[in-house]
Amino acid sequence: MKVTYNWLREYVDFDWPPEELAERLTMLGVEVESAEEMGGAFEGIVVGQVITRDKHPNADKLTLCKVTDGKNELQIICGATNFQVGDKVALAQVGTSMPVEDGEKSFVLKEGKIRGELSQGMMCSGSELRLSDDHEGILVLPADAQLGQSFAEHLGSAGKDVVYDLEITPNRPDLNGVIGLAREIAALTGNPLKHPEISLNVSDEKAEDLVAVQITDPDLCPRYNARVIRGVKIGPSPDWLRAQLESVGIRPISNVVDATNFVMMETGQPLHAFDLHLLAKADDKPTVVVRRATAGEKFTTLDEAEHELTTDNLLIADPEKGIALAGVMGGMNTEINDTTRDVLLEAAYFNPQNIRATSKATKLHTDASYRFERGADIGITNWASQRAAQLIAETSGGTVAEGAVDAFPQQPEPFEITLR
């Protein structure tokens, strides 16, 4: 489990330096395997704005740009073509030590001439900032990005940060999310735990009119929550979301998928997003069927591997086919893609022993299976679903249908614990 110092501080106030936090976590029973400083990588990089863009007099494929940081105008030579005058960009100034991968030799940006013209910095691509694999064009920031603001602050970070790699013992599945760790710190400090505020702008449509859920084996799936987000536009996530996931070792994929991964890391509750229109219907309604696989049933997971299943494996299916290996990995036949417009969001609880056996048998070990096989929180599924729906709507422009289909056939009695 990876978590950053600054991410923890979003949920609880504490003033310990990073080294003391590591000691405190260790005393709480959370082994800190490593602590790595990061975030100074963006020092010297600010939000800039392109003022002019002209053809380089001595090179057909280069442009000569004037870029401002709000105070000074700089001349930048650029080879990218994906930006316009007025765009906000990540501007690396002279003297900036550029981010590099582990093992690479760092370099400091210097003023120099390119084909006879002075260049006083660089407009950065996502690849050059180690935020994505995209090196074809520069990173164009949202129009409301604050001119002159440090790039780290634009990403929602205070700048320098520390990434902790934690060893979570199997008896503490509640610590497999940032909020769970923050709760321990809140108990230690006496400071309140700050849950994210959820505000859903729901449509007139109701989830129960758009999707149905059937659980055929409640012993293996005691709860399945389905929510619908309509009218999404699939694309890259905002910079802050991509950076947050990258900081804890998760590769950004798209706004919808990234939102589910963010909430998984935040709460410890895995979620999965399906393309709603790739689900088969029953009674004219897309229907999720949670069932055991049939003996010999074949299913292709998102990693393009085909698996021959047994009746011991739990499948998320529709009336015609399997669509996900429950608690482990989704299927290629309903994955989110560039044409997806409506999303079915899954948040569920699965029997830990069953997920552990399936993960071992299929040799699929994922962030989701890691959490489910240790025991997720059956009481948090609906809240986590709302949180993910909110982020999906905010990052993709979608609209959340009212309510959710929350199949919860046998609600457990709450535990009561007496303390002296």
Measure Cα distances from 369 to 140, 244, 260, 349 in Å: 36, 21, 14, 11
The greatest distance separating any two alpha carbons of the chain, rounded to the nearest whole angstrom, comes to 81
The whole-chain average pLDDT of the chain stands at: 93
pLDDT at 358 over 60: yes
36 falls in which pLDDT band (50, 70, 90)? confident
pLDDT at 154 over 60: yes
Residue 126 is given by DSSP the state T
Please give the helix or strand (H or E) that residue 208 lies within, else none: helix 207-210
Chain mean position to CA 170: 24
Q: What is the DSSP string of 382-409?
A: HHHHHHHHHHHHHHH--EEEES-EEE-S
Residue whose C-alpha is closest to residue 152's, from 256, 45, 234: 45
Runs of H (alpha helix) within 63-177 = 151-154
Separation between Cα atoms, residue 142 and residue 240, nearest integer Å: 11
Work out the number of other CB atoms within 10 angstroms of the CB of residue 94.
15
The average pLDDT across 55-67 equals 94
Residue-wise pLDDT tens digits, 98-126:
876 655 666 788 999 999 999 999 999 88
Query: Crossing angle for the helix pair 255-267 and 239-247, nearest 10 degrees?
Result: 50
Q: Model's pTM, two decimal places? A: 0.80
E strand intervals along 305-407: 306-308, 314-317, 322-325, 329-330, 342-349, 399-402, 405-407
% of the chain with per-residue pLDDT over 90? 82
Separation between Cα atoms, residue 377 and residue 334, nearest integer Å: 26
Residue-wise pLDDT tens digits, 215-260:
999 999 999 999 999 999 999 998 889 889 988 989 999 999 999 9
> Both tokens of residue 302?
């998102």
Separation between Cα atoms, residue 240 and residue 243, nearest integer Å: 5
Separation between Cα atoms, residue 300 and residue 333, nearest integer Å: 8
